Amino acid sequence: MGGIAYITAFHASISRNNVLINANMLDASRQNGVRRFLFSSSACVYNQSKQKNADVTPLREEDVFPADPEPGYGWEKLFAEQLCSYYCKDYGIDVRIARFHNVYGPIGTYQGGKEKAPAAICRKVALAEDGGEIEVWGDGEQTRSFMYVDDCVEGLIRIMASGYHDPLNLGTDELVTINRLVDLVASIAGKHITAHHKLSGAQGVRGRNSDNTRLRKVLGWEPSIRLEQGLAATYEWIASQLRAEVPKRVSASAAAD
């Protein structure tokens, strides 16, 4: 998968590849006596009609039905959730289903088209001059919640140790606009940055947030790393990668000359 531009442009290949991966992994697990199986699902499974407002009501696990997930990727994830439940019922595989809400952090994709919003904004701000401008798709008022990778790992460990088989949200309920995300990254970078809004760019649903009521009930825990903290670590890593690429770009230019 990848960022919003990628998952809206390649419905067939994303759906085919993920269906094959998930179906084959489940059946290989059945054939080889795997005791516990984790499926990494996505908030993209949720009904799109519940995500039309930026001030979105946090999504509960049951809000997935009646089904109207995002095209391609969302439908594939919802189908795979159902397949996991069938393998649990018919073959006794001890499944776990985690619905990720926008995971981000260092050592992730930050360029090339498959990066997600936090990484893309970190890259753009790192490359921009102080007082410069970066491109933001849409009006920037679309909203999301973002979960730092350390919280994601902790959540997965706890979910795997639980006895819960049904889908479970794994994300924060800290709702933020994309414009606010730009401001946070710019502040971390110590730069004054202006957003140039590209209204024709892919945007996805208008608003999405995680309802963690069931997560707290099942695990007695929820993600707690604040967005500012996670972005600071993410920005520094991406900026360091870009700084390391400068000699390569200079060398390539000199060779071309």
Alpha-carbon distance of 70 to 77, in angstroms, equals 10
Pairing of strands 94-100, 103-104: unpaired
Q: Can you name the residues that pair with 94 across neighbouring β-strands?
A: 36
**Given this model, what pLDDT does residue 203 score?**
84
Domain 4-246 annotated CATH 3.30.465.10:
no
pTM: 0.92
Structure tokens at 166: 């049904």
Active-site positions read 73
Instruction: Spell out the domain ranges in the chain.
Output: 4-246
Alpha-carbon distance of 184 to 231, in angstroms, equals 8
Full pLDDT tens readout for the chain, 257 residues: 678 888 889 999 999 999 999 999 999 999 999 999 999 999 999 999 999 999 999 999 999 999 999 999 999 999 999 999 999 999 999 999 999 999 999 999 999 989 999 999 999 999 999 999 999 999 999 999 999 999 999 999 999 999 999 999 999 999 999 999 999 999 999 999 999 999 987 788 999 999 999 999 999 999 999 999 999 999 999 999 999 997 665 555 555 55
Within the chain, what is the greatest distance between any pair of CA atoms?
65
**Given this model, what pLDDT does residue 255 score?**
54
Q: Can you name the residues that pair with 36 across neighbouring β-strands?
A: 94
Q: Can you name the residues that pair with 229 across neighbouring β-strands?
A: none
Contact 138, 197 (CB under 8 A): yes
**Given this model, what pLDDT does residue 64 score?**
98
What is the DSSP track for the chain? --SHHHHTT-HHHHHHHHHHHHHHHHHHHHHTT-SEEEEEEEGGGS-GGGG-SSSPPPBPGGGG-S----TTHHHHHHHHHHHHHHHHHHH--EEEEEEE--EE-SSS--SSS---HHHHHHHHHHHSPTT-EEEEES-S--EE--EEHHHHHHHHHHHHHS---SEEEES----EEHHHHHHHHHHHHT---EEEEETTS----SB--B--HHHHHHHS------HHHHHHHHHHHHHHHHHHHHHHHHHHHHHH-
